[in-house]
Structure formats: structure tokens, C-alpha cells
Chain A
């Protein structure tokens, strides 16, 4: 088989699928790309057995059909270094791959038999729906930060997708913070279901999807597939029960704070310079119309304190947060102001944007640091 493609097109496809090539592959075939020529289409696939990604490469010319495995890393390095000109790959038996182009050299890549490559998992399910990539990425973007890295609780290392008629809820939490986005504009008509999708797959999708893509999501018992016209990602689902997060969302926190995002973030950034590098603790003192934020480094000394006017309605309150967690949370707010609904010093606080986007409900929870 033989085919010709543009360097830039190939490089884009490689970047889409390289994420599923693991550095230490458990079986040698997994450090390869699987190239399959089917008429005018070249389909490139990579997998680490958890996530499988395939991308369709637009070809300039093609001849014959068949498949071959090539070393992913070396192929990527080569394509990256070549100029953006038409390149030709020829595969002759047994799996000898040669790459040529006008004005460049000749490169022989040791190919392998595609029979060693795992077969594409079959998604046997009728549960599927469409969502615009822009909205999908927006939902993931607002939740990824809260995903846990603690492998002792595998269910928290993924994002929960809850389908409830035309509503989709996307939730992530590591126990310290929680983020939930729900949208009312999903064309899903199947039965209600909960699926936990691993962070890795979602991080790759976040990077690979273009805003104007239409994504078809298919959910089966153990796998999910995300397809667009140009690429497809299949991931294993995380097995287990997601904690009952609804029950930890406070229903009537009495203390309401409204802050101006830009000023508030700058204050936190400055004051947190003085927080302990272990706890990153910053403390807020809230009184009617006024807020103080302060931090002290017990180990190396130093203290920072700022006072500013805020809209605050509630009891006088002292509450401490991990500055890193607080900033991660506030970064998801895309309105000028943010709203806090706080309980007492040991309670989860709710953080929301001052106004919700159309058909969207976005809420975050942040747990404080216990004060002595």
C-alpha cells in the first residue's frame, strides 16, 4: 500500500492520538500507532488498553489497502522535523515502511504486523446522544480541577456523568472541593443513568475536540465512546458507586457574600504568599460589609493581611481555606462577581457565578480548614 499526505495534517492527527501511547507499555505493540488504509481513508489508532483513540487522516493520494504498526514516538519525532510538504509512505511486505518526499531524505521505519495490536473494543449499546463540543468542553473544563488523584478511591478519579432526561449533570470531587455543572439542553431520551469517566479520557477530549465539532457519546456497561466525524475515543468506565454528593450540598447556608472576582483574586494571591507552605491556609474574617483576609507562616515567619469592602449579609464569621483550592475554584467563575453561601467555620461553602449561563446551573463546594 502507498499513500500521500500533508505533513501538517499528519502532525495534527498524531497529536490527537499520542496521548494514549504509554511510555511504559505493558505489551510492545502498544508503543506503536496502528495505521490502516481503507480506500481513500487512513485511520490511525493508539491505545493503552484504558483509552483507545483513532483519528482519520485526510490523504492526498492512496493506492491499495492494508495495515501496519509503526513506532509511535519515532514517527512523531520524524514528522515533526519535516517541512510542510506532501509526504509519501509506502509499505512493502513484510511491513517495511518507507517515507519519502521531494527534497528530503528517505526514511525506513521498522513496521510490524498489525495482528499484534489489540482489536478496537466494541461498544454494544443503543444509549447515545449528541452534544456540541463547545458545551461538552465547557462542562469538563469546569469540573476537571476537582477530580481526585487519590488512587485509593478510584471512583473519585473520574468525572460522574448523570443523565436525567434532557438534563445532564457532570460532577467531580476530591472530598475537599466539588464542582457540578448541569445543562438542560441535551438530546437524550434513554433511561436515567450514571457513569464515571476516567480523567485521562476527558483530558484528552478537552484538548482534541474543536468547538464546532458535534460529539456523539455512546454509553455501554463498561465503556464509553466519544465520536466526531474525524476522531473517536473509547474509554473504559470506572466501576463503583459515586458518593451521594447531593446530600453534602448545603440547602440553606445563611451567610451570603458577593465579591468582585479580579480584586478578590489579587488579594488572595498576595496574601497567600505568606501562608504556610504545608497547609496553604488563609483566613477570612467576615463582618457586615467588610472582609479581612490574612495568612501567617508559622515556620518561617511573615504575615500578610488585607482588608476590603464586600457585600456581606450574615453573622460575623471566621473561616479558613487552602488558598490553592480556593483559587482553583474561583478560576472556574467566568462572571465579574462570585457569590458565596457560607455556613459556619467548619461547613462546606457554596460558590457560584453571579449569574448562570443560559440553560446551565453551575455550583461548587469548598471545604474549609478546621480552625483551632
Chain B
């Protein structure tokens, strides 16, 4: 799936096929909204994503074992995804079509349609972003959301989880599994172990107990090699790992040792925690979009610059930062990828400035008429915005202050009612267009 997953974000799990089926379950959830300092993360993982999209678009496939990828006769190619009925026969992603056919003679091979999955993914991610702006897209079918700010609105963390699942069903008609915990990694394990169509909320404090009986391989980050090393110490479950001696592990595994133990206790989110802790120290903030149908139209690309600039400016303002190096990433249909930069005269958090600079960059790096499959913008050289510092301008006068007041008002609207409550007309048409495209019809 590497050809459509978010480039910069490390793909954290091996394969959705590896997870074991557990019954869907809804934990009783106490109201934690009073405890505002506690962060809660919701992990969404789409169930057999590609296969589910195919099932949805062709209901006659429902309940029958299907494999996405491979040639229709099953003589060539590799299975990219298998639905749950197929998994019963031991089918896994990465298996050759011939092997799949041998294990499950009645398997139906479905042609892989990347464009369709990318659209569905974009729809889902947009939807998730409307729940919480702190969205981390982990791959085409997985994302992590920080939800502590919205629990009060839904009543409980589990209710947020259900709302997310319901929204994905009503928007895209696709099944998903949700895990909720106090860090991203544990939330991911909670989701992985509740598939398919599951929902699991681990009450703060209960993580270790939940993880304890699971085999160590369930923890992402523990691959076959680590699993084998742990087995030498007689450690097979996460519970055994949680009780291991940190000192001994430091000797045996170096800095990773204590981290492994922390992970098994449900107290550490590894690299994902690192990203969270980075917070306002980030040196750049950016967004990118892969387009299902490559874009040829200048006006549409400019619209995307607007949409991306808005998103960046909003994040930069939320973090109380200003930045001055704008980088555009542009990928053509043939995967040639360009990066162009421009330096903004003064550090800014003003989307209008980003839009103008972004348009300039677009004209610099885009060869008109060449189809673009990905467009990204990021603002770098971020520094904290110190309110008192403002070099005044002879010609702009009070405009700057008025614009600052305007953004303040817009931001508070978005905080209250969600990101799409108010958008620039130009970026808006780009951002909603994807949502209107129905599947099975080729987007123009």
C-alpha cells in the first residue's frame, strides 16, 4: 500500500491481516471530561479497507471471500488485501494469487483500484478532521485523533468512538474499528485487538491489565526479531514484558529496553509520543493532499494552495508561531517530485501571505499541462510569535491589526463549530468537491 500512504509518517503496523478477531465490545465508560489535563487518543483503523470498499461498491460480493489484487483468473499477481471471509482460509496481504487460489479455490479476485481507495481515504480523513483538528494520518486507512477536547460534547470517550464509527458509516458506508486510550500506541493496540467493526475504550489506569495477556507481537514496534530476543528471556506476553527489570533491559537492549517495558505497561507511545511532545517546538508545519484524479487545471491547483494555506495558517496560529520559509512539494503523475521554497520577508501566520507565496511557488515549479497527483505546502523556520513585536509599515497602517482581529474571530468560530464552518470560497470548492464525488463514476 506504500504507493498511497502518507509519505512522511512512518507506517506503524505490519498488516491489518495479522490481527486476530475479537468480538466487538463497548466498555462502560466513566466521564473523564472533568479531568481536562488527561489527553485521550482515538485510533481509527478501517476494517479490510480495500476489500470493504470493493464490497460496498459491489454488494454481490458481500459475505464471499474476496482478494484485492492479482489477475481475475488468479494466475498472476499478489494479493493486496483480503476480506474477513477470505482470511478464514489463511489469506494474507503479500501472498501470491496462486497461493491464495490454492488455499481458497472459491476466492474472487477484484481488480485493485487505487483511485477509489484514495478518495475514500480522503473522505474519511476529512471527516475525522472535523472531529478534532489534532489529526495524525498514519496511513491510507489509519489515523489517530486527540479527542480530550470533544468528550464533553459527546458525553463520554466511548460515545466519541461510536460517533466516529457512525459518521464513517453514514458518509462512506465502510466499517471501522476504534481504540481509545491515553496514548496513541495503546489506542492502536486496542483497535488492532478489537477488529473487525470493534470499539474499545481503555479506561485510564486499565491499560496494563488489558495488554498483559496479549502476545508481545501485538505491540507495534515489536517485530519477529525482537519477539525472538524476548523469548530468550522467557517473555511471551506483554504482561511478562511489563514486569521485566528496566535495568536488565537497558543492558540487553540499550535505550530501547526501558521503552519496550513502558510500552507494555501502556505508558509510552514511542515515536508517536515524541511527535506529540514536540508540540510548539516544531520547526515546520505542513499539509499535503494526494489527488484521486490527477489535476491538470491551474485554477483547481490554485484552489488547493488556498485550502492548504488555510489549514497551515490555522495550525500555526493555534501554536502561536510564525514562520518564514514556505516549501511547496509537487508530485507529477509519473512520481517525479519537486520541492520549491520561498522566503517570506517577515515571519507570518497570515494565510493571505501564504496563499500569495504559494501561488508564486506553483507558477515556478508547475509545468502547465502536466498532471499533478500530489500537492503539499509547509511553513518552516517557525519561531514563537511574540505579541509585542510588530514592525510597523508606512503603507499598510492598521490593516495588519485589523487582519489579526479577523483571524482571531475566524479561529474562535472554527474552535467552536469545526473547521468547515467558514472557509474561503476558493479553497472551499476544492475541499468539498472530493466529498461530492460518488464512487463508481470517474471524477472529472
Contact = CB atoms under 8 A, between A and B. Distances in A.
B394 A248 contact: yes
Interface stretch (B51-59, B178-186, B253-261, B381-389): B381-389
B391 A278 contact: no
Interface string B390-404: 111111100000000
Contacts of A276: 386, 389
Contacts of B396: 175
Nearest to A322: B391
B390 A369 contact: yes
Interface of B: 345, 347, 356-357, 360, 383, 386-396
Nearest to A345: B392
B36 to A, nearest CB: 29
Contacts of B347: 278
A152 B360 contact: yes
A278 B394 contact: no
B388 A248 contact: no
Contact of A173 (B360, B387, B392, B394): B394
A346 B345 CA distance: 21
A176 B387 contact: no
Given A175-B393, A368-B392, A149 B386 contact: no
Given A150-B345, A152-B357, A243 B395 contact: yes
Contacts of A367: 391-394
5 contacts: A173-B394, A175-B393, A279-B386, A325-B391, A369-B389
Interface in A219-251: 243, 245, 248
Nearest to B385: A278
Interface residues on A, range: 20 to 34
Nearest to A243: B395
A365 interface: yes
Contact of B383 (A148, A152, A178, A278): A278
Interface in A330-346: 346
Q: Which 3 A-B pairs have the closest CB atoms?
A: A372-B388, A279-B389, A175-B393
A370 B345 contact: no
Nearest to B347: A278
Interface of A: 148-152, 173, 175-176, 178, 243, 245, 248, 276, 278-279, 281, 298, 322, 325, 346, 348, 365, 367-372
Contacts of A298: 386
Contacts of B388: 370-372
Contacts of A150: 345
A371 B389 CA distance: 7
A279 B395 CA distance: 20
A192 to B, nearest CB: 23
Given A149-B345, A150-B345, A152-B357, A346 B392 contact: yes
A248 B396 CA distance: 11
Interface hub of A173, A368, A370 (most chain B Cβ within 10 A): A370
B390 A370 contact: yes
A278 B389 contact: yes
Contact of B394 (A178, A325, A371): A178
Contact of A372 (B360, B387, B394): B387
A248 to B, nearest CB: 5
A279 B391 CA distance: 8
B418 to A, nearest CB: 32
A95 B357 CA distance: 45
Given A150-B345, A152-B357, 4 more contacts: A173-B394, A298-B386, A322-B391, A367-B391
B401 to A, nearest CB: 9
B394 A348 contact: yes
Contacts of A372: 387-388
B351 to A, nearest CB: 14
A150 B324 CA distance: 12
A152 B391 contact: no
B372 to A, nearest CB: 23
B383 A176 contact: no
A176 B389 contact: no
A365 B394 contact: yes
B391 A176 contact: yes
Contacts of A178: 394
A152 B392 contact: no
A248 B345 contact: no
Nearest to B383: A278
